[in-house]
Structure 1
């Protein structure tokens, strides 16, 4: 049996040295140690050498919290994203950029839940992070208005914040849906349907509206061809039953985001007569499907980098005019969107 009772034979745990200890060891004023730790250039060479030697001797580590109070900053950037359960290129890009600037990232997931988003963002505000990059979920972000007026810097990614004016980096949603629609028409499809996210979500609204515009411009009817809503198995199964049933089933699908695409593919399974599919959002292993998924790809890493590039000047000057950057998307052809309609 493993014995989990451990006896400390090293004596009492040594107290962490403080600036007071360093000042006493170096025989200088506490204020002088504080100036040295904060890189004050007016500290003389002789004093600096004595303080450096004193710091080295007791393995002194500066109190970061005290430095934060003096600087008025925390060196922390908050990031809220829909999910951190798997690879997140956008979050990875922000983290990489932050490390280059000596900043730390505090990341939290919202799971597309309004209350989780609000709790996460306000928690970051309470910790006085230097700025927040957020992937919005809620359809009302006015709860952030007071924080922004107080100087909190906020940049939205993938979606715009609702009810407040902040910097944002988004993809060209309308162009992406237009690419997908035209691609399917060029491969002989005329009964094209759309299954996507809730329209209260910025991207869900923009993509559904773009699909309706494409259908109308192509002379088609939108009745029963646009199916936005929660990305849930039952809801997507019901939408598929409508669009693939009846006398004139859809021959092609545009799916509105990664999660919708995956659930649609799961529902379709190995059934025969599967419609052509173009998914908005690319994802890992999409090229390994049979056939591979034709997708509208966003550059998530570039979105993250540009969001960080907007956040730094916003932190430096909270009063500067807000800016929205719209990035182009790309059609990646792999096979699922090139299948012809039934003869």
Structure 2
């Protein structure tokens, strides 16, 4: 049954999770035995430990991190009160602002686009019994979250869809953004346009590179040597830029802010000689000479929508899953207007 909130609003009760008591009953052992197995006590007999582990697997029991913290007096975490953790992640900043307005707290962890690190971070949050997770997915399969979702965890994906689970999602109009950048350069008189972007194993990198290839086909230009997706590494980006110059390109579209910064660094004093449009805006981009023309994502809209979807899911866990696509905006500052 729903409970009553502080202001009389009805608050849905999260479904009950299996407890240590349930595991003890399932395994036919004492509660203390379960506790010792969960805490890796090597003195538990092999047969008892096996029965407990099998019961844990059958019930899909997850240890309550808060209870462990109370017993040990330690949390296993370090608080970070830094100047601005989100200065290089504007969507996270907007999530924090929207969450604060809704009287919610955000605990952020970095995944570094590593699937193993993502699993570690997300499951750490689950063990701490957070109400929900807003995730920028990287793994090829997020099925490991299904049991948590079934137990009432609210999950919202942003920037990229989660794989193997059906959750509320906020995406950027990647194709529309690339098309607007490409068409803008064509209007400036460019035909030889190159692309340097993110790794195509990442959803956004794949969508943007695919959209750029379609743009080239649309004006009858060959693809060979003009499209360069890959890891965001200085050497790889420098090599791609060298190949584009050898192909005689007069304009470049970059697939995200980190790639753009590296391309600008590689251009050096010759930055103004080639037209450039970057996907993603970032601080100081307007102070370059010429100022950087960008395809700006709707960071505020993405963050606000993610929190709205989260709150709606908590209020009604049975409602249909939603996917919201936020449009982009072309901001003209000069670098995309360099003539061929």
Give the TM-score taking structure 1 as reference length: 0.72
| Distance 1:170-1:333 versus aligned 2 partners, 3 A rule | same
Over the residues paired in the alignment, what is the CA RMSD in angstroms?
2.2
Query: How much has 1:39 moved relative to structure 2?
Result: 9.5
Q: Establish whether residue 112 from structure 1 lines up as the match of residue 113 from structure 2.
A: yes
Q: In 2, Cα distance between the equivalents of 1:273 and 1:330?
A: 23
Deviations 1:8-30 (A, max 9, x none): xxxxxxxxxxxxxxxxxxxxxxx
Q: Closer, same or farther in 2 for the Cα pair 1:39/1:292, shift >3 Å? A: closer
Report if the CA contact (8 A) 1:169-1:327 is conserved: yes
Aligned to 2:155, the other structure's residue is in SS state: strand
- What's the CA shift for 1:166? 1.2
Matched, 1:321 2:323: no
Q: Is the 8 A contact 1:136 1:161 kept in 2?
A: yes
Asked whether 1:152 is paired with 2:153, we answer yes
Q: Distance in 1 between matches of 2:272 and 2:285?
A: 20
Count of matched residue pairs: 263
- Give matches, 1:189-338, under 5 Å: 189-245=190-246, 248-271=247-270, 274-338=273-337
Distance 1:272 1:160, change over 3 A: closer
Distance, in Å, in 2 between the alignment partners of 1:313 and 1:281 is: 28
> Is the CA contact (8 Å cut-off) linking 2:272 and 2:335 kept in structure 1?
no
Note the alpha carbon deviations across 1:104-156, whole angstroms, 9 max, x for none.
Answer: 11111122222221111111111110011111222332222222222211111
Structure 1 residues 248-270: Cα deviation after superposition (integer angstroms, max 9, x where no partner): 41111000000010011111111
What TM-score results when the alignment is normalised by the length of structure 2? 0.73
- Which one has a bigger Cα radius of gyration? 1
Question: Which sections of structure 2, spanning at least 5 residues, go unmatched?
Answer: 1-5, 9-65, 68-83
Kept in 2: contact 1:139–1:201 (CA 8 A):
no
Q: Alpha-carbon deviation of 1:302?
A: 1.5
